[in-house]
Structure 1
């Protein structure tokens, strides 16, 4: 890796672990890239407020490139917006783009195709590093601390959202749920990491139960790997500074 690498940053544990591994290998990132809802100013899928993302970038000491996605954006338009923003980064010297994906082959292929079109090399620092049960414990042991901010109602009840991502959480996971949530079962927000200059002082806000309408056609299905369609209910834990 070189200092022209930008990491796609969701704000969650996998992104933080990927960044940590890159830095432990002696590399220096140019910055992080995050997609947010333009309407709600929250990280896409995670529901985390923009100011908490800003706090992470400040703690990392890295430039942050935000990509604002409009409501009801289809996959074709989403791809175009991501590609346009990555092309801008290339004009200022970006050569590589990193991702925190673990084992979903079709998602990796999708990212590679998208970055190839932008003439950017892809980097997957934690790709199949270990089975996800082992990797989950490595994330915790690394000193990364995270709160679970979103869970799928297909797999969890609301009691799981807002919990610390720790060994107790892993031990309580329902059968069939990936320990890293790689299939989209849950998402997290990192409030402390070995790569942060200081912890982020967060407060728990309200828990929100949201229902979503499934995508109507194959083109608009999310590139989520194992699942052919959206889950329709999610529980979100709001966080505040």
Structure 2
């Protein structure tokens, strides 16, 4: 019997690609997608994606969504308390692993490992590599049919005009020199709406651009774009 594993789900391309990779390897059984949602706004933290779109992703992936509601504002203690509740629920369901789509940020990985140490839940990093790997990884995602839209851009690192753009070869060519092609340093975040991890595309259209807390967000709306 394969170990039961949850996948941390940001709604972006990296978590979506991690799902695809884990399923291809076939070593574990993915039993759910874990998403933290802002209770006040009903959106994914940092990505700003509406909960309705995340639920549509889970349905297209054929997996239940394990939503973790977070207060706003949310202290680190409150966050860790909610995540401890998730771990308890996971253990009760026979889950033995929690996978993440992290690519190379060692401090982020170390934090996750510390938080799960002694919990009975093993952290997994199926995409882990180095900054040198991400140009090829970005091209591999696009070549395999992954489709994503930039839901958030850090204007201190990239031009704000990129928010709402497609994550495609043209975008990769236009990134600021030194920017990570997968946005691993926080340059941008994405919403993945199609790819080999889904059984159907998620209908979505790009709404207004909103600037908040020093970031630029595209308000992504459920439903296909008008003809």
Q: TM-score range by the shorter chain?
A: over 0.9
Over residues 108-164 of structure 1, what are the superposed CA-to-partner deviations in whole Å (9 max), with x where a residue is unaligned?
111111112422011110101761111111111121110000000101232100000
Q: Check whether the contact 1:99–1:125 (CA below 8 A) recurs between aligned residues.
A: yes
Name segments (4+ residues, structure 1) moved above 6 Å: none
The aligned residue for residue 218 of structure 2 is 237
Unaligned runs of 5+ in 1: 213-232
Give how far 1:22 is off: 0.4
Contact 2:17/2:197 (8 A) holds in 1: no
Aligned residue among 158, 161, 174 for 1:159:
161
User: How far, CA to CA, are the matches of 1:185 and 1:106 in structure 2?
Assistant: 17
1:25 is aligned to 2:6: no
SS of the counterpart of 1:240?
A: strand
Alignment of 1:52-91 (within 5 A): 52-91=53-92
Shifted more, 121-130 versus 27-36: the winner is 121-130
CA positional deviation for 1:36? 0.9
Instruction: Write the distance in 2 (CA, Å) between the matches of 1:190 and 1:128.
Output: 21
Shift of 1:75: 1.3
* Corresponding position of 1:228: none
| One of 169, 174, 177 as aligned partner of 1:175 | 177
Task: Map residues 205-220 of structure 1 onto 2, 5 A cutoff.
Answer: 205-210=207-212, 212=213
* Distance in 2 of aligned mates of 1:157 and 1:73: 29
Contact 1:2 1:29 in 2 (8 A): no
TM-score by length of 1: 0.88
User: Relative to total residues, which structure has the larger strand share, 1 or 2?
Assistant: 2
Mapped to 2, the partners of 1:42 and 1:201 lie a distance apart of 17
Deviation at 1:3?
A: 4.6
1:156-205 CA distances to partner (integer Å, 9 max, x unpaired)?
A: 23210000000111110012211111111110000001121111111111
Q: TM-score, structure 2 length as denominator?
A: 0.93
